[in-house]
Structure 1
């Protein structure tokens, strides 16, 4: 097949799913193209070595990549962020020639605006497209700090609703990343025959499936949060829970990453005198194995918002793949998986007392029991969430979508 991947983000940005999918599909004999933006995430600055232009192409192995200009912004200014999303959509439309003669388009939908051009191509060029939904809209926009008032949120929902309905209707298939997300999409009118749940996979998962565990340092316990320090990650609750366990000698909470809430979180930690909290900032992806190696538990958190019950943050798979036990405060699918599969501890979201209790349980857990949680997690990952399983499923979905036009 000739496959076009449309994604606003692609390496050197953190883009595990898109890049793994492109490389593995090309290795299986498909002709793969990628239409993406110039790299600027997460800092909102163009990466060194890049200059925006209309004629930039590059190759990663057998994968041909075209980058299109966009308005670069990752601030909390709602108009600037919307301009960022829409500028990529417009540039993608203007690069329609890159989509000609492809059999199917795969859309990596963190922002649903990435589907604007594929939706247009479906109508004009008769190219089928498949949506891989990472975040549910409109709530991912209206419930974030980008929207400052409930009135504006309702206006945005009203504007987005007909667009989202049209995109789902025109799509050949929709891939939710969790069972509850599938149910929510079905409730919103998406044809159940189009819905195919595929779990995300972890970075470097091919290597991890044959990796041996690294022996962790002894003494106390290290709980790590590695990811976006944003306003929806419920990290204020995490810091308050850390305050409640200041009496635990050797308890360490390590926060890895950057984001819009980082400054506020550092200030809160200073005001609370949290001597058990350490901020590491952004860590290069190649160094993340060292972070996992020193972690006894990985923290997976989100605020208590209904759409998050169908969200599985990528750090969840990354931790399972490396055999690191989980402490989860994400209601819905994540909590259900952790409890049903016995891969860690859980607490309700936005509940610092309950999370502090989980921290204490982790602290006093025997090493053998902790290692068993990690072993089960790794087995779960290899069984259900590996890159091979995910790419196999998506390849089948794309093949079926491509066959629509020839039927």
Structure 2
């Protein structure tokens, strides 16, 4: 079976960002399928092209047996240019003659880091008489309304809402990353028996045998992921200030990654003279295990917003657990993997006092107790979020089309 995946922000392991489709593609290759990913050449986290040479419309590369068709899209900063990049990607997907680079598809998976990409996948599926599988990553346009403060009556929001309903109705099957989003998809026109939950997971080939961390010097609390509006990382600075004011030395927060809020956060930390906060640039996915090995504990946070009631599926969380590190989980959501696995502490989001207290509680645990939490988290993701488990679920879905 020839499978195309349309995901504007997909990347191979050598870049920073989400490698979900490359990892799942490896499982599909073992099952005898051919997998190609159509993506934009501008890295979502870096806001810049990974290529020094961008004088092309489309470029075909292969990474570990998975074909990547890179479409040239505008680099961007700010909301308007980001929307332009989305639209350019969708148009170039539709009109870019992908069939000149890739074998004719039997199935096209349209992923929704934004709905325009999935709409382009639907158009291609109809053109090639292929099955169309919709992959729902975020709840659109609710995410934009709650994070961006847009009105439901804004023309762009109305457009996105209608587009999501069209995609839900027309999809032959739907992959949902969020554990409780079925009701929203049914409201938009899908049927429950079309929906399969395949969350994000961890590539355990990167985390082969992580060593338990023995505290040596400062207690390192690490966040590794996007520094965006939804992540609400001001809470880290506020907690760091509380610990500094309390005279609680020996704790350092390390924030790894990039995003729209990073420069503001760095300036704020410098203004407040927070000596216990360190910022580091993002790293390629295949370098994440070495980075997380330096952590004594990891931090997962999202702002306290109703949109997360459908559940969350953050790559960073499963990487933390795959690295066998205890996790401080601060997300108001219906499904809590850290609590389910007994792999750390759960606190309310946007609560610096709770974060400061949780850090000191974990710092006060023995190395053995933290190792027990980390091992429990790793066992959980191996059974529930390992790439082989998720890949088998995807293979079953495709076989039933």
TM-score (norm 2): 0.91
State whether residues 221 and 362 of structure 1, in contact with CA within 8 Å, keep that contact through their aligned partners in structure 2: no
Q: Distance in 2 between matches of 1:264 and 1:345?
A: 28
User: Does 1:233 pair with 2:268?
Assistant: no
**Would the alpha carbon gap of residues 264 and 26 (structure 1) be closer, same or farther in structure 2, given more than 3 Å must change?**
same
Equivalent in the alignment of 1:404: none
1:209-231 Cα offsets, whole Å, 9 max, x none, are x4242544424421101111111
User: Does 1:316 pair with 2:317?
Assistant: yes
**Would the alpha carbon gap of residues 340 and 61 (structure 1) be closer, same or farther in structure 2, given more than 3 Å must change?**
closer
State whether residues 215 and 296 of structure 2, in contact with CA within 8 Å, keep that contact through their aligned partners in structure 1: no
Structure 2 unaligned segments of length 5 or more: list them.
none
State whether residues 178 and 333 of structure 1, in contact with CA within 8 Å, keep that contact through their aligned partners in structure 2: no
Please identify, of 1-10 and 313-322, the stretch whose mean Cα deviation from structure 2 is larger.
1-10
Please identify, of 118-127 and 89-98, the stretch whose mean Cα deviation from structure 2 is larger.
118-127
Q: CA deviation at 1:354?
A: 1.9
User: Does 1:70 pair with 2:69?
Assistant: no
Equivalent in the alignment of 2:363: 363
State whether residues 38 and 52 of structure 1, in contact with CA within 8 Å, keep that contact through their aligned partners in structure 2: no
1:356-391 Cα offsets, whole Å, 9 max, x none, are 221221222222221111010010011110000111
Q: Distance in 1 between matches of 2:360 and 2:22?
A: 39
Equivalent in the alignment of 2:269: 269
Equivalent in the alignment of 2:87: 86
- 2:209 pairs with 208, 211, 215, which one? 211
Q: Distance in 2 between matches of 1:220 and 1:31?
A: 48
2:21 is paired with a residue of what secondary structure?
A: helix
**Would the alpha carbon gap of residues 337 and 212 (structure 1) be closer, same or farther in structure 2, given more than 3 Å must change?**
closer
Alignment of 1:325-404 (within 5 A): 325-333=326-334, 336-401=336-401
State whether residues 59 and 65 of structure 1, in contact with CA within 8 Å, keep that contact through their aligned partners in structure 2: yes
State whether residues 222 and 252 of structure 1, in contact with CA within 8 Å, keep that contact through their aligned partners in structure 2: yes
Please identify, of 164-173 and 337-346, the stretch whose mean Cα deviation from structure 2 is larger.
337-346
1:196-218 Cα offsets, whole Å, 9 max, x none, are 1112112x42242x424254442
Q: CA deviation at 1:155?
A: 3.2
User: Does 1:129 pair with 2:132?
Assistant: yes
Q: Distance in 2 between matches of 1:367 and 1:229?
A: 29
Q: Distance in 1 between matches of 2:238 and 2:146?
A: 23
Q: Distance in 1 between matches of 2:226 and 2:65?
A: 31
**Would the alpha carbon gap of residues 53 and 324 (structure 1) be closer, same or farther in structure 2, given more than 3 Å must change?**
same
1:218-254 Cα offsets, whole Å, 9 max, x none, are 2442110111111110111121112112222211111
Q: Distance in 2 between matches of 1:390 and 1:82?
A: 31
1:259-285 Cα offsets, whole Å, 9 max, x none, are 111111112212222111111122343
Equivalent in the alignment of 2:219: 221
1:37-96 Cα offsets, whole Å, 9 max, x none, are 2243322222234424235222234433322222221x22x2211101111000000135
Structure 1 unaligned segments of length 5 or more: list them.
402-407
State whether residues 18 and 108 of structure 1, in contact with CA within 8 Å, keep that contact through their aligned partners in structure 2: no
**Would the alpha carbon gap of residues 333 and 374 (structure 1) be closer, same or farther in structure 2, given more than 3 Å must change?**
farther
TM-score (norm 1): 0.90
2:255 is paired with a residue of what secondary structure?
A: strand
Alignment of 1:135-214 (within 5 A): 135-145=138-148, 150-151=150-151, 154-202=154-202, 204-208=203-207, 210-214=208-212
Please identify, of 283-292 and 255-264, the stretch whose mean Cα deviation from structure 2 is larger.
283-292
State whether residues 219 and 251 of structure 2, in contact with CA within 8 Å, keep that contact through their aligned partners in structure 1: yes
State whether residues 176 and 198 of structure 1, in contact with CA within 8 Å, keep that contact through their aligned partners in structure 2: yes
**Would the alpha carbon gap of residues 213 and 129 (structure 1) be closer, same or farther in structure 2, given more than 3 Å must change?**
same
